[in-house]
């Protein structure tokens, strides 16, 4: 894995994957040697409405060293410097990022579970694509509605749950799906990413169902009603 460092990048592509998910493709000479493991992220240096510097984390997707580029997929949730930057940036704009970041490690467990919301989708897709061919598992992803579904490569049985108008981070849809899910007794690993309180709840449920610390990776990606802190 490469040492985390600062990269000066330029935006070379903007595409809407779904109504609420925008892909920004960035390029820079230093990406020729950039390395990261699936699910790792970079820290974007952005400015808020008052012009103050802020940092926000986004998952690296589709790293292409030969092309010196990767993609960043943004949830267009409508508030905050990260979502606003993605909603308004133009091809040719520049961006400074620091990375790779993140302690996420792939699992070699035969059965793997992924639980998360839209913010987790980029990481889940990257990790699912890299799962060992001998493994299997389930991804349960909460999104706004059916238009927000995206292809998730790899061996997972992907199940979508829809908020249908409820704000992100406020439902118990993932909890309910987990309640009905049968989890193998051994050779298993669960990954949980998304809104922090939802993640804590799901992590506690998985613990109560017997998953040990080594079988569980849980990380809050954002906080309902509160901006991310640097
Ligand atoms: C390791 C890691 C990887 C991540 N990867 C991605 C990624 O690939 N794509 C991605 O979109 N996000 C990703 N996130 C989440 C992203 O960093 C947060 O959503 C962050 O808060 C966005 O910053 P912002 O400036 O848009 O909003 P902030 O200024 O942090 O928050 C402003 C308001 O928006 C709300 N808000 C923040 N995020 C969301 C959301 N997803 N849905 C609804 N409301 C929200 C907050 O509750 C707050 O009220 C990742 C986070 C981590 C820690």
Q: Measured between alpha carbons, how far is 73 from 228 in angstroms, rounded to an integer?
A: 17
Q: How confident is the model at residue 229 (pLDDT cuts 50, 70, 90)?
A: confident
Is the confidence at residue 230, as pLDDT, over 70?
Answer: no
Across 57-85, average pLDDT:
98
| Each residue's pLDDT tens digit, 158-198 | 999 999 999 999 999 999 999 989 999 999 999 999 999 99
**How remote is the CA of residue 227 from the centroid of ligand 1, in Å?**
8
Closest by alpha carbon to 162, among 24, 16, 23, 20? 20
Task: Give me the residue spans of the domains in the chain.
Answer: 5-101, 111-222
Task: Please check the confidence at residue 147 and state whether its pLDDT lies above 90.
Answer: yes
Mean pLDDT of 201-228: 97
222, 226, 228, 230: residue to mutate for ligand 1 pocket, most atoms within 8 A of CB: 222
Other CB atoms within 10 Å distance of the CB of residue 185: 7
Q: What was the pLDDT predicted at 133? A: 84
**pLDDT over 70 for what percent of the chain?**
99
pLDDT digits (tens, 9 = 90+) for 98-137: 999 999 889 999 999 999 999 999 999 999 999 988 999 9
CB neighbours of residue 92 within 10 Å: 8
- State mean pLDDT over 43-55: 95
The DSSP call for residue 10 is E
Distance between Cα 142 and ligand 1 center (Å): 15
Which residue carries 């079988």 as its tokens? 215
* Nearest Cα residue to atom 42 of ligand 1: 77
117 sits in the region (left: phi over 0; alpha: psi -120 to 50; else beta) called: beta
**Ligand 1: residues within 6 Å at CB?**
41, 56-59, 73-75, 77, 79-83, 102, 118-119, 122, 168, 221-228
Q: What is the CATH number of domain 5-101?
A: 2.40.30.10
Q: How far, in Å, from the CA of 224 to the mean position of ligand 1?
A: 9
Contact between 91 and 84 (Cβ < 8 Å): no
Percent of all residues in the chain with a pLDDT value above 90, rounded to a whole number: 94
Beta strands in 133-178 (DSSP E): 136-143, 156-162
Output the residue whose Cα is nearest ligand 1's atom 18: 222
**What is the position in ligand 1's atom list of the atom closest to the CA of 83?**
26
- What CATH number has the domain spanning 111-222? 3.40.50.80
């Amino acid at each position: 894995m490469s040492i985390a460092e600062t990269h000066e990048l330029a935006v070379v592509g903007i595409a809407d994957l779904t109504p609420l998910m925008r892909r920004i493709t960035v390029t820079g000479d230093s990406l020729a040697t950039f390395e990261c493991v699936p699910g790792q992220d970079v820290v974007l240096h952005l400015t808020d409405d008052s012009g103050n510097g802020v940092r926000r984390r986004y998952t690296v997707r589709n790293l292409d060293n030969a092309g010196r580029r990767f993609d960043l997929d943004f949830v267009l949730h409508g508030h905050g410097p990260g979502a606003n930057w993605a909603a308004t940036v133009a091809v040719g704009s520049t961006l400074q990022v620091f990375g790779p970041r993140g302690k996420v490690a792939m699992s070699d467990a035969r059965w793997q579970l992924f639980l998360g919301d839209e913010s987790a989708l980029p990481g889940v897709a990257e990790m699912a694509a890299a799962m060992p061919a001998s493994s299997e598992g389930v991804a349960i992803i909460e999104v706004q509605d059916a238009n927000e579904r995206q292809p998730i490569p790899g061996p997972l049985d992907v199940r979508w749950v829809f908020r249908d108008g409820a704000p992100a981070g406020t439902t118990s849809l993932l909890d309910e799906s987990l309640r009905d899910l049968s989890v193998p007794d051994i050779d298993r690993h669960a990954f949980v990413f998304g809104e922090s309180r939802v993640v804590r709840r799901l992590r506690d449920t998985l613990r109560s169902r017997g998953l040990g610390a080594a079988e569980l990776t849980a990380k809050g990606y954002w906080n309902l009603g509160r901006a991310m802190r640097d």
